Structure 1
Amino acid sequence: MYTSLAVQHATSPHAELLRDSFYVVHDGTMTWHDVPGLAQYAAIHVQRNLGDGTYRFDYSRHPIASLAQNWLAGRGADPEQLTVEVEDPMSTDQATRGLEGFLAASGDRFRLVDDYTHDSPDFYKTWIIATDVRPDPGQQPIRVFYEDVDTATHSYTLRQGGFATVEAARSWVDRLGHPENPLPPLTGAPSARAAGAGAHSSVAVTVSAPTAPVPATAEGRPNRPQRR
Structure 2
Amino acid sequence: MSPPEPDFRLDDFEAADERTEEAFSHTIGIEHDMLTALAEHHTPDGSQSYYVLHNGAVTWGIPGEPQLVALHLQRDMERRTFRFEHAQLPLPAMAQSWLIHRGCPPDAIGLMRGMGTAPADETTRALEQRLMGDGDHFALLHSYTRDDPDDMTTVVVLRALDDQRSPAPFRVLHEEADTDAGTHTLREGGFATVAEALQWCDKRLGGEVAPLPPVRLMARSTGPSGTAPAPPAQRPPGRNR
TM-score over 0.5 for the alignment?
A: yes
The alignment status of 1:187 with 2:187, answered yes or no, reads no
Partner SS, residue 136 of structure 2: coil
The alignment status of 1:178 with 2:208, answered yes or no, reads yes
The structure with the greater share of residues assigned to helix is 2
Summarize the Cα distance change of 1:104–1:113 in structure 2 as closer, same or farther, 3 Å threshold: same
The alignment status of 1:30 with 2:30, answered yes or no, reads no
- 1:166 paired residue number: 194
Q: Which runs of 5+ in 2 are unaligned?
A: 1-33, 221-241
| Bigger RCO (CA 8 Å, 6+ sep) | 1
Is the Cα–Cα contact under 8 Å of residues 127 and 173 in structure 1 kept in the other structure?
yes
Aligned counterparts of 1:107 and 1:65: Cα–Cα separation in 2: 11
Aligned counterparts of 2:101 and 2:183: Cα–Cα separation in 1: 29
Q: Which runs of 5+ in 1 are unaligned?
A: 12-16, 192-228
How many matched pairs?
Answer: 184
- 2:81 paired residue number: 54
What does the per-residue CA deviation read over 1:126-159, in whole Å, with 9 as the maximum and x for residues that have no partner? Answer: 0000101123975510000010112232221011
Is the Cα–Cα contact under 8 Å of residues 71 and 86 in structure 2 kept in the other structure?
yes
Between structure 1 and structure 2, the one with the greater Rg is 2
TM-score (normalised: structure 2): 0.71
TM-score (normalised: structure 1): 0.75
- 2:147 paired residue number: 119
- 1:41 paired residue number: 68
Aligned counterparts of 1:76 and 1:171: Cα–Cα separation in 2: 36
Summarize the Cα distance change of 1:125–1:190 in structure 2 as closer, same or farther, 3 Å threshold: farther
State the 1:59 CA deviation: 1.6
Alignment-mate amino acid for residue 150 of structure 1: D
State the 1:120 CA deviation: 1.1
- 1:207 paired residue number: none
Is the Cα–Cα contact under 8 Å of residues 50 and 73 in structure 2 kept in the other structure?
yes
